[in-house]
Amino acid sequence: MKLNKILPLILLLVFNMGFAQQGKQNGKKINNKKIQVVDSIKVSKISEEFSSTFLATSIKDSTVFDLKDMAIARKKDSLWLKELYKSDLFEDIYNTVADQNFEAVDYDELPTEVLKQRLKELDARTPFKVEYNQSLENVIKQYLKNRRSSLERLMGLSEYYFPMFEQELDRNNLPLELKYLAIVESALNPRAQSRVGATGLWQFMYTTGKMFGLDVSSYVDERSDPIMATEAACKYLKSLNNSFNDWDLALAAYNSGPGNVSKAIRRSGGKTNYWSLRDYLPRETAGYVPAFLATMYIFEYAEEHGFKKQTARIPYVATDTIKVKQQITLDQVAKLTNLDKEELEFLNPSYKLGIIPVVKNENYMLRLPLTSVGTFVNNESAIYAFAQEEVQEAEKPLPELLEQQDKLRYRVKRGDYLGRIADKYGVSIAQIKNWNGMRSTTVKVGQNLIIYPKKSAQDIASNKSVAQNNTSNSSEKTYTVRNGDSLWSISQKFPGVSVQNIQKWNDISGDKLKPGTKLKIYKG
């Protein structure tokens, strides 16, 4: 008998034995409604993967069945997901472009003559002016020498985003190489936000996004929607190229606005070559096109330079969308589909609070891996019932027991939203709203929230004590802020220290610093 005929029988036997054993242990059926809803979804998911016979058996038994996983493997997988999906490269790239250094570096692995030949090949197959000059060579070599690990991570993320970009660029008859612009703009972080408020993969300001059909509400920021933002970017880039009839100038205008490019042309006496206009453009724009061309070169010749791409966990083509019929949170979807929350946030970055609303005349979608779409569709009614029940439970008056529990006061920091805070303390968004008498899910930096965490106060105090002990074991330094310092420039002075580290150690929510301020810096 063939293996594919034997395997379902073995699986059926194993799972039925498991049900029988569990029935003996329980002694009676469990009737808790919430558990049954979760159970029915998980059973349905198993049935799709194995056999219809197993589904019939499990439903008939109606006992609670939960797939178990190796805890250590699950933890490793979760940490890997966070590493893959974290988007901490934006600040570094933003500052690198704004303060682009054109000084020469030693990098013998790329001889000048080899670079000239490759740039000539690139120039022949793209409408951009990919011409050799010393400044471009210096930028390319700086990237190859100093940004290797971050470029490899970006190559892994590009496996997900680039097919999406290429599809829309091709539809608009635009150069496919424009996909590299999103790396320079946002480091492929759909939630990236610049200091002036530009947001998303393509860094749209609020007003410019509105011009090209991107709406922003309390729940949704369409500038962070990868598909909608890419469509808007294509329209904007096409209009800029129609105006300047030159892709280098169109890119410069995308970064600093068409007005600044027009002024640079006037101040230069009528020059229209980007490299001749650079000295007349804003500082950030002067480093913008070189950063784009350097990124394009490295991605096109990644193999020749020995880059090892981190494979995308989910290819874009292996995902699909579902129109949401009732308000639901990503936290609830994660529970009911057995997906990691980080994965759902990565696939659905436009939902600012982790909540997918249902609004008249709007079609808000939930993007899921194809392997989970069937599970969701087959169990929609149960999923929405579970979500509604959670909301109703959270909105009930606080019981006296809860009032006696230890509570903590949480001060909202920059970048916080209710979904993140709720996840941190193992509670729901609705509970936080109820505890604090909040009508909306909007929070402000500096706002104090009452939280009744699932962990006891003793656990929290213990964790805090451990953290303090770990800190005391580190080498602490004091840095005095000088004129012209920024969090990023200070972080560069201390290897292994990030902007986020400095903010956390010194309880800083913004990025403004006063000269003379004493900052704690820990090493080790």
Catalytic residue numbers? 185
In 233-333, where do the E strands start and end? 319-323, 328-329
Give the Cα separation of 314 and 369 in Å (integer): 7
CA 506 to chain centre: 25
- CA quadruple 294, 299, 301, 304: dihedral, nearest 10: 120
Residue 349 burial (C-beta neighbours within 10 Å; 0-12, 13-18, 19+): buried
Measured CA distances, 442 to 199, 296, 412, 439 (Å): 18, 39, 11, 9
φ, ψ of residue 18 in degrees (nearest 5): -65, -40
User: Within 10 A of 287 (CB to CB), how many other CB atoms are there?
Assistant: 24
d(CA 120, CA 130): 7
User: Rounded to whole angstroms, how far apart are CA atoms 316 and 329?
Assistant: 22
Q: Please, is 48 exposed, middle or buried when counting C-beta atoms within 10 Å of its C-beta (0-12, 13-18, 19+)?
A: middle
Give the separation between CA 226 and CA 229, rounded to whole angstroms. Answer: 5
Residue 284 to residue 352: CA distance in whole angstroms: 28
The C-alpha atoms of residue 341 and residue 332 are separated, in whole angstroms, by 9
Angstrom distance (rounded) from CA 20 to CA 17 = 5
The CA distance from 286 to 284, in Å, is 5
Cβ atoms of 372 and 343 within 8 Å: the answer is no
User: Could you give the 3-state DSSP secondary structure of residue 499?
Assistant: helix
- The one-letter amino acid at 494: F
Beta-carbon-side half-sphere exposure of residue 5 (alpha carbons within 13 Å): 2
Contact between residue 188 and residue 347 where contact means Cβ atoms under 8 Å apart: no
Q: Are strands 448-451 and 408-411 parallel, antiparallel or unpaired?
A: antiparallel
Residues 6+ apart with CB under 8 A from 396: none
242 alpha carbon, distance to own chain's centre: 32
Tokens 């091709």 correspond to 170
